[in-house]
């Protein structure tokens, strides 16, 4: 059973300094929460896997499916990976989860 991700986990999980290796942390985090990569981790690490980027995306989507209402999981504009508050209407990143935002209201 997947372990729950709660709102108090919002913020940066893996900073952008990890670069291409952020995916390895993302994949490991997803596996720890019940994601099945359907393959063995290569000896040199996930970044060595032929379909690394596809797996990274799948892992990210898996984590995203566990995010509480009003949050998304992914990379922000700085390239930091984590869980971020979003506007529930348009998905724009916001300071706090909210039902609509300046973009919605402007649009």
The residue from 25, 41, 47, 104 that contacts Zn ion (CB under 5 A) is 104
Phi and psi at residue 73, to the nearest 5°: -120, 125
Q: Is 89 in the site for Zn ion (CB under 5 A)?
A: yes
Q: Is 93 in the site for Zn ion (CB under 5 A)?
A: no
Cβ atoms of residues 70 and 98 within 8 Å: yes
Of 69, 62, 72, the C-alpha closest to 99 is 69
Which range, of 13-21, 36-44, 46-54, 91-99, touches Zn ion by CB under 5 A? 91-99
SS3 for 16? Answer: helix
Q: C-beta of 90: minimal distance to Zn ion in Å?
A: 3
Helix (H) or strand (E) holding 84: strand 81-85
Interacting residues with Zn ion between 28 and 87 (CB under 5 A):
87
Q: Which residues contact Zn ion (rule: CB under 5 A)?
A: 87, 89-90, 92, 101, 103-104
């Amino acid at each position: 059973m997947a372990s729950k991700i709660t709102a108090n986990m919002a913020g940066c999980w893996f900073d952008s300094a990890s670069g291409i290796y952020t995916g390895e942390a993302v994949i490991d985090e997803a596996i720890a929460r019940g994601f099945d990569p359907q393959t063995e981790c290569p000896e040199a690490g996930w970044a060595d896997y032929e379909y690394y980027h596809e797996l990274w995306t799948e892992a990210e989507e898996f984590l995203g499916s566990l995010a509480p209402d009003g949050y998304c999981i992914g990379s922000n504009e700085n390239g930091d990976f984590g869980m971020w508050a979003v506007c529930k209407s348009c998905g724009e990143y916001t300071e706090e989860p909210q039902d609509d935002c300046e973009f919605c209201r402007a649009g």
